[in-house]
């Protein structure tokens, strides 16, 4: 699939078929996360792939009862370790969130290229999910996503729900069009 077609038609999918994902497809999507860039190539991430139906149901509850998550055959939790290191700059300890977010975005785009839906989940109970999945103290959950074939491929449409370029791009300096 053409790259621009992938990024234009990736949508948040909130309705899934009960159809298994072949292992080779799943591994290609996970590999897209693995090869993402990170600050100083730290790769401070782990990805937990949950396929057990009961565990997925529990995760949906821990995502503030977003029940559509439980329709998907797979849920992935992206976790990041704060290594208290960065090359300066104001982001400091937040850099891990940037790193994991880049990897997770690779994952969601690769999923789209495979005909799979995702929905970035930022609303969840970090501490409870850490307990439930046995995540060590020095890691936090940055994002989760259900992963599965959408109920309808029509969901993969181009969005019109974005600000126009003129409103978000400046040339040379702030405010210069």
Ligand X SMILES: Cc1cc2nc3c(=O)[nH]c(=O)nc-3n(C[C@H](O)[C@H](O)[C@H](O)COP(=O)(O)O)c2cc1C
Interface contacts to ligand X, rule CB under 6 A: 11-12, 66, 119-123, 159
In three state form, how does the secondary structure of 43-86 look? CCEEEEEECCHHHHHHHHHHCCCCHHHHHCCEEEEEEEECCCCC
Nearest distance, CB of residue 133 and ligand X, angstroms: 17
Task: Say how many C-beta atoms besides its own lie within 10 A of residue 129's C-beta.
Answer: 20
Q: Which is nearer to ligand X, 12 or 38 (CB)?
A: 12
Task: Say how many C-beta atoms besides its own lie within 10 A of residue 93's C-beta.
Answer: 11
Q: Which is nearer to ligand X, 114 or 172 (CB)?
A: 114
Strand 117-118, strand 45-50: pairing: unpaired
Residue whose C-alpha is closest to residue 136's, from 82, 100, 172, 174: 82
Nearest distance, CB of residue 47 and ligand X, angstroms: 16
Q: Which is nearer to ligand X, 103 or 119 (CB)?
A: 119
Q: Which is nearer to ligand X, 20 or 91 (CB)?
A: 91
Q: Which is nearer to ligand X, 66 or 95 (CB)?
A: 66
Task: Give the whole-angstrom CA distance, residue 134 versus residue 113.
Answer: 31
**Integer angstrom CA distances of residue 11 from 33, 53, 108:** 18, 24, 9
Nearest distance, CB of residue 100 and ligand X, angstroms: 11
For residue 126, what are its two tokens? 């970090």
Nearest distance, CB of residue 78 and ligand X, angstroms: 11
Nearest distance, CB of residue 176 and ligand X, angstroms: 28
């Amino acid at each position: 699939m053409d790259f621009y077609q992938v990024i234009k038609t990736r949508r948040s999918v909130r309705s899934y078929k009960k159809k298994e994902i072949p292992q080779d497809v799943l591994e290609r999507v996970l590999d897209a996360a693995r090869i993402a860039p990170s600050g100083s190539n730290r790769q401070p991430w782990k990805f937990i792939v949950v396929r057990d139906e009961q565990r997925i149901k529990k995760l949906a509850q821990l995502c503030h009862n977003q029940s559509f998550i439980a329709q998907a055959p797979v849920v992935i939790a992206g976790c990041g370790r704060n290594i208290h290191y960065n090359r300066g700059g104001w982001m400091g300890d937040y850099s891990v969130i940037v790193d994991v977010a880049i990897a997770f975005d690779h994952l969601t785009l690769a999923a789209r290229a495979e005909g799979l839906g995702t929905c970035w989940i930022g609303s969840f109970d970090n501490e409870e999910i850490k307990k439930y999945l046995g995540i060590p103290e020095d890691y936090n959950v940055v994002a989760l996503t259900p992963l599965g074939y959408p109920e309808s491929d029509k969901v993969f449409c181009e969005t019109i729900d974005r600000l126009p370029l003129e409103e978000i791009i400046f040339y040379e300096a702030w405010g210069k069009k």
